Structure 1
Amino acid sequence: MTTSELVPPPVKKAGPALESLTARGRQGRLRNVTRTWRGRVLRIAVPVGLIVLWQLSSVLGWADEFTLPPPSRIIAAYQELWANGDIQAALPISLKRAGTGLAIGVSLGLVLGLFAGLWKIGEEIFDAPLQMLRTIPFIAVVPLFITWFGIGETPKLVLIAAATIFPMYLNTYHGVRGVDKKLIESGQTFGLRGWRLAARVILPTALPAALTGLRYAAGVSLLALVLAEQINAREGIGYLVNNANQNQRPDIVIAGILIYALLGIVVDVLMRVAEHFALPWRPRVAIG
């Protein structure tokens, strides 16, 4: 008998049992599909439910039709405004006002935010005054703007621009100042200095904060537009609302308010799309 016959063969240790993930994977996919459709259904069902409740409150006599016109009257008001060409004439003018004021305010806020964020002298010059001015409600300065700029288009644009400077400035400033120092040190290690360091490290890192400021400023521009078009407006959505209020047409007033709300939704969607394409690398974090 040889030595090899006396030595027992090595015992193979059983590895960990492989667990089938097929059922779990199917459950995960089902959960994702359910979550997606749940969000879509809720986004549609909740507004529809509120509109139905609004209509029922008028049909059942819970609300006075003159005080709170039902959705059916609002739709009839839209048809009247569209047939008269009022919406087609007013909407471009309001959008032009909001867009022009937003462009001016965002440009100034971006420049000031970069200047104060990148240079200490910029922070010392601009940060304290802007921090004080941003606490003043822009509705409080309307009488001053009328005194300084009259009652034409200029005070309207200045009001919208003044309202949109601060969110753009604050987000850009904090985005630049919030850049991780390790990223800056890494860029300096590779020989980046001055403008090259700012363009390749600081500004791309601060871009999400700047886009957040742009999104917030776009929403604020519509809020300022509502107020600006109360300043002796002869054209625009605000003119339609003021004219309807003088003629005791609450249905047209509510129709104009809903147009402002719809513009806000459209602007927010456009800003979300812009962020999605500008920041494809940003992760989406959600608990449930």
Structure 2
Amino acid sequence: MSSPSVPAKAIRGAPPTFAPKLLTSVATRGRRLIGLAVILAAWQIAASRGLLGAATPPPSQVIEAGADLIRSGELQVHLLASLERVAKGLSIGLTAGLVLGLAAGLLRVAEDVIDAPLQALRMLPHLALVPVFIIWFGIGETSKIALIAIGPIFPLYINVFHGIRSVDERIVESARSCGVRGLGLIRRVILPGALPQILVGLRQSLGIGWLSLVVAEMTATTSGIGFLVNDAKEFLHTDVVFVVLVVYALLGLTTDLAVRAIERKALGWRRGLVAR
């Protein structure tokens, strides 16, 4: 009796299972870089041909200026000052937005007290409040941190509030019928259901925080990347101005990617539409 044949694939050994996933990951990351590559190429060509004005430097010159700032240590010093400001401002603003959104979303009394004033304040252009904050807090760090803190409150508050109110009441009632109540209900049912909306609000709030930092550092400051761009503008160092603009863009992109990574990890249970 002849022995059963063994597939050639089994003899050679199957390829590692992680290979397709690795190739997919590399392809995905490559596609995400295409847009940036196109922008850089268009910028290089347009600046080299003078289509963006004689003062606009090409990316190659901006990279060279950035390398000079890094070698001298100037960029690191100003970047650390800006990161300290935005960390303080966002810690205040995000905490306030989260607490206010939770209170208004969970308690009808809190909604009646909180919602109307916040909606009225939300209509004010917070970046135009710089003179008011200078009058209230002076021209020091307090006014800058206050400006960074005030902007992120409103998008986070709205998304937390509506995220909680959009949780299906039938799921909440089912949990109550199983004996889940109080803080357990909030922690196990309401917050997980509202989490997708909360993370959207977090992404919006972080973006507004960086925009607020730009404006805050344009007024009466001696440190920070906003001061660096102001100083470069005074001496017509347009390459340094573009270096700072690129740094702002990278900072915003980094925080947004961090929140998206949190979304993938925290919302792995959710079955949503996947683009093909």
1:272 maps to 260
1:57 maps to 46
1:128 maps to 116
Counterparts of 1:159 and 1:238, CA distance in 2: 14
Counterparts of 2:156 and 2:77, CA distance in 1: 30
1:174 maps to 162
2:224 maps to 236
Q: Give the Å deviation of 1:284.
A: 4.2
| Aligned-partner residue type, residue 94 of structure 1 | S
> Does 2:198 match 1:221?
no
- Pick closer, same or farther for the CA change 1:195–1:49 going to 2, 3 Å: closer
| Aligned-partner residue type, residue 36 of structure 2 | P
1:17-62 per-position Cα deviation (integer Å, ceiling 9, x unaligned): xxxxxxxxxxxxxxx9998776544322332232222222233343
Counterparts of 1:216 and 1:58, CA distance in 2: 32
- Pick closer, same or farther for the CA change 1:96–1:182 going to 2, 3 Å: same
Q: Give the Å deviation of 1:286.
A: 2.8
> Does 2:250 match 1:283?
no
- Pick closer, same or farther for the CA change 1:192–1:284 going to 2, 3 Å: closer
2:190 maps to 202
Q: Give the Å deviation of 1:202.
A: 1.4
1:111 maps to 99
Q: Give the Å deviation of 1:140.
A: 1.6
- Pick closer, same or farther for the CA change 1:241–1:285 going to 2, 3 Å: same
1:211-236 per-position Cα deviation (integer Å, ceiling 9, x unaligned): 22222211211111111111212111
Structure 2 residue ranges without an equivalent (≥5): 1-20
- Pick closer, same or farther for the CA change 1:140–1:59 going to 2, 3 Å: closer
Counterparts of 2:86 and 2:238, CA distance in 1: 24
Counterparts of 1:220 and 1:284, CA distance in 2: 27
Counterparts of 1:269 and 1:53, CA distance in 2: 24
| Aligned-partner residue type, residue 145 of structure 2 | L
Q: Give the Å deviation of 1:191.
A: 2.2
Query: Structure 2 length normalisation: TM-score?
Result: 0.86
SS at match of 1:64: coil
Counterparts of 1:87 and 1:158, CA distance in 2: 24
SS at match of 2:148: helix
1:190 maps to 178
| Aligned-partner residue type, residue 45 of structure 2 | L
1:42 maps to 31
> Does 2:68 match 1:80?
yes
Counterparts of 1:117 and 1:62, CA distance in 2: 52
Of 98, 114, 138, the match for 1:150: 138
Q: Give the Å deviation of 1:245.
A: 0.6
Counterparts of 1:114 and 1:59, CA distance in 2: 52
1:73-114 per-position Cα deviation (integer Å, ceiling 9, x unaligned): 211211221122111101111111111111111111111111
SS at match of 1:233: coil
Query: Structure 1 length normalisation: TM-score?
Result: 0.83
Q: Give the Å deviation of 1:72.
A: 1.9
Counterparts of 2:99 and 2:48, CA distance in 1: 54
2:247 maps to 259
Q: How many pairs are equivalent?
A: 257
Choose 209-218 or 174-183, whichever is displaced more. 209-218
